[in-house]
Amino acid sequence: WIYDELPAYYVFVDVANYMAHVVRVGDFVWSTRVVVGAEDAQTPMFRDNMDHLVFNPTWTVPISIQKKMGQVSASYTLVDRQTGRKFSGGDASNYKRYRVVQQPGPRNALGRVKFMFPNRHSVYLHDTPSKALFGRSARALSHGCVRVQNPTRLAEMLLNRPDWDQARIETVIQGERTRYVN
């Protein structure tokens, strides 16, 4: 069913082989290494439509990860769930009271690009600051999302417009302002 009636242009993530492929009219036109979900947080099998990407994304830490955190640096913002009041850094272990958000930047867990296709699994493709992981032969290391080795090239391939070339993408991500592109 996952292969039934695929469009002419799509991204295929081969979880077992740790690769993502851009497919046009049945041909793999570009491929890159990926990191997928670990055994206890496997990347699910599904298909969905990608509707936008985010340059310089923030990262809202999932509660499952936040439960393991203690004190966090000022690169994280704690947002009181009841009042909306924000604090820079602090004790993130109170996951019922605070939402923990990591601001954009080179050490952001999502890296510089996030590819969004809203789905019930809350799984998406994204960059990572942990580039060394792509050198491993076995890359089942994430919490379920798919980390992409060459995210700016993937962004260029998917946007597929002359006004979104590598030079413009690099300029946008160096600015560190969050930007959404449909």
Residues assigned a catalytic role: 126, 145
7 class by beta-carbon count within 10 Å (0-12 exposed, 13-18 middle, 19+ buried): exposed
Tell me if 60 sits within 8 A of 164, measured CB to CB. no
Residue 84 neighbours by CB under 8 Å, 6+ apart: none
Query: How far apart, in whole angstroms, are the C-alpha atoms of residue 103 and residue 39?
Result: 28
Query: How far apart, in whole angstroms, are the C-alpha atoms of residue 19 and residue 110?
Result: 18
